């Protein structure tokens, strides 16, 4: 059964791999492993990487109840609190040097969101009220310093003066606002609301869903727009396949946590449409292409896209049992991951990306500030948690 294989992979490969990267000298987790599996113990430690590791071990403990996982989460929390947090100006830095000193002091809304996501999960796992208070503090930081009348601004210097958003812009454009940041603020607020039931977080979840429905979702093209100007006008013809399938299940999750039928009814047709379109145009029977820019498909198979596709199709099937092809697709992508994306070398984890035939792109690191246990670890958690029937 798929669920048994996924659980074994989580406990026998992913968890031990990330435990092995713990830095007991300077705190947190080592920030870089190259394609040859050499760890650079003096590499920069991305705060996104470390917040995602905190999130991962917190959820692993909540699911599996193994004490060593909670200890890893405590280690990650201590690093975030002592090194990633700017106590003078508020907010979370972009990155930390190997020795715990700030390296890149940029404040990015995306980064604040992932810290909220991690802290909310750590609070659930540990019961540590300090983590929840810090998550609430970062929520208020985003809402007071990172918003305008249209939505979420993105990049700031250490004192929260707005700067160019080069860190979350790609494909030759500089975006003032992005679907990606909006999605992960939503994801973070979903978890914060789930563990805190703060009314002000609930209102922002509604606002973000309205924004997705009216500004980000393009019903004519059955997709989300990706990069925007300051007024949320799309600035590029780009279909991000991985983000659309990820958004579909995260919006469904958020609407479920919110618990209001009005928003379930409003968002469900959108998430169904996104899932169906991805199945039609991006899934080739065994894996998912990366994206399509101006009609040209990037056929690379990226690790996180494959992981989110498993969850997205599984979610699509569970919402629509009359779509057994989604369940079959989730299984096919898992088979592709097993055969090609998981690195079989001892001491490794998943390749960053492979081509459409499964050949890895040599030179891409196994660990770096964006390459983490968040997407593949979450795939494992979701498959295990959703195992309510024989189909899995």
What one-character-per-residue DSSP string does 205-219 give? HHHHHHHIIIIIEET
**In this model, does residue 259 exceed pLDDT 70?**
yes
Helices 241-258, 261-281: axis angle to 10 degrees equals 160
CA 61, chain centre distance (Å): 18
Domain 2-385 carries which CATH code? 1.50.10.10
What 3-state DSSP class applies to 348? coil
Q: Where would I find the H helices in the chain?
A: 2-9, 15-19, 47-64, 67-79, 109-126, 129-145, 179-196, 199-211, 241-258, 261-281, 303-319, 324-336, 374-385
Query: Could you give phi then psi for residue 103, rounded to 5 degrees?
Result: -110, -55
Beta bridge partners of 371: 368
pLDDT average, residue stretch 22-38? 98
User: With pLDDT > 90 as the criterion, what percentage of the chain qualifies?
Assistant: 98
Q: pLDDT at position 388, please?
A: 59
Q: What is the pLDDT of residues 293-335, one digit of tens each?
A: 999 999 999 999 999 999 999 999 999 999 999 999 999 999 9
Determine the average pLDDT of the residues in 212-234: 98
pLDDT for 387 equals: 87
Evaluate whether 377 touches 59 at the Cβ level (below 8 Å). yes
- In this predicted structure, the answer to whether residue 337 has a pLDDT above a threshold of 90 is yes
Q: What pLDDT, on a 0 to 100 scale, did the predictor assign at position 124?
A: 98
Residues 162-205: pLDDT tens digits? 999 999 999 999 999 999 999 999 999 999 999 999 999 999 99
Query: Crossing angle of helices 241-258/199-211, nearest 10°?
Result: 140
DSSP states of 8-70 as a string? Answer: HHIIIIIHHHHHTTB-TTTSSB---B-TT--B-TTS-EEHHHHHHHHHHHHHHHHHH--HHHH
Distance CA 382, CA 378 (A): 6
Asked if pLDDT for residue 235 goes beyond 60, the answer is yes
389 — pLDDT class (breaks 50, 70, 90): very low
* For residues 70-97, average pLDDT: 98
Tokens coding 320: 């629509």
**What was the pLDDT predicted at 392?**
52
Q: What's the mean per-residue pLDDT of the chain?
A: 97
Q: Give the tens place of pLDDT for each residue, 106-119.
A: 999 999 999 999 99
Per-residue model confidence as pLDDT tens digits over 133-165: 999 999 999 999 999 999 999 999 999 999 999
Contacts of 5-13 with C-beta under 8 Å, sequence gap 24+, read 5/334, 5/338, 6/334, 6/379, 6/380, 6/383, 6/384, 7/380, 7/383, 7/384, 9/342, 9/380, 10/60, 10/377, 10/380, 10/381, 10/384, 11/64, 13/342, 13/349
């Amino acid at each position: 059964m798929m669920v048994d294989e996924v659980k074994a992979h989580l406990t026998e490969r992913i968890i031990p791999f990330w435990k092995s990267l713990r830095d007991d000298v300077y705190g947190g987790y080592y920030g870089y492993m190259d394609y040859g599996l050499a760890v650079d113990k003096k590499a920069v430690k991305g705060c996104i990487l470390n917040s995602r590791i905190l999130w991962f071990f917190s959820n692993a403990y909540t699911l599996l109840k193994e004490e060593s996982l909670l200890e890893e989460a405590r280690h990650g929390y201590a690093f975030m609190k002592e090194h990633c947090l700017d106590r003078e100006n508020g907010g979370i830095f972009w990155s930390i040097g190997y020795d715990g000193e700030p390296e890149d002091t940029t404040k990015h809304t995306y980064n604040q969101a992932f810290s909220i996501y991690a802290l909310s999960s750590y609070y659930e796992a540990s019961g540590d009220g300090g983590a929840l208070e810090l998550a609430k503090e970062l929520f208020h930081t985003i809402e007071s310093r990172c918003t305008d009348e249209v939505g979420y601004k993105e990049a700031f210097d250490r004192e929260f003066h707005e700067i160019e958003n080069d860190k979350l812009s790609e494909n030759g454009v500089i975006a003032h606002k992005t679907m990606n940041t909006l999605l992960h603020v939503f994801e973070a607020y979903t978890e914060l609301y789930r563990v805190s039931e703060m009314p002000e977080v609930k209102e922002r979840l509604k606002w973000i869903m309205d924004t997705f429905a009216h500004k980000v979702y393009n019903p004519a093209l059955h997709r989300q727009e990706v990069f925007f100007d300051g007024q949320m006008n799309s600035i590029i013809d780009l279909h991000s396949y991985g983000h659309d399938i990820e958004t579909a299940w995260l919006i469904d999750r958020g609407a479920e946590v919110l618990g209001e039928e009005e928003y379930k009814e409003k968002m469900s047709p959108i998430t169904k449409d996104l899932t169906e379109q991805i199945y039609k145009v991006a899934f080739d029977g065994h894996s998912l292409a990366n994206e399509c820019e101006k009609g040209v498909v990037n056929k690379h198979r990226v690790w996180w896209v494959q992981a989110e596709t498993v969850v997205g199709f599984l979610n699509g099937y569970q919402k629509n049992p009359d779509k057994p092809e989604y369940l079959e697709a989730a299984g096919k992508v898992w088979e592709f991951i097993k055969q090609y994306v998981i690195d079989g070398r001892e001491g490794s984890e998943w390749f960053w990306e492979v081509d459409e035939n499964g050949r890895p792109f040599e030179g891409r690191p196994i660990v770096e500030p964006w390459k983490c246990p968040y997407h593949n670890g979450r795939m494992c958690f979701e498959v295990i948690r959703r195992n309510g029937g024989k189909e899995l």
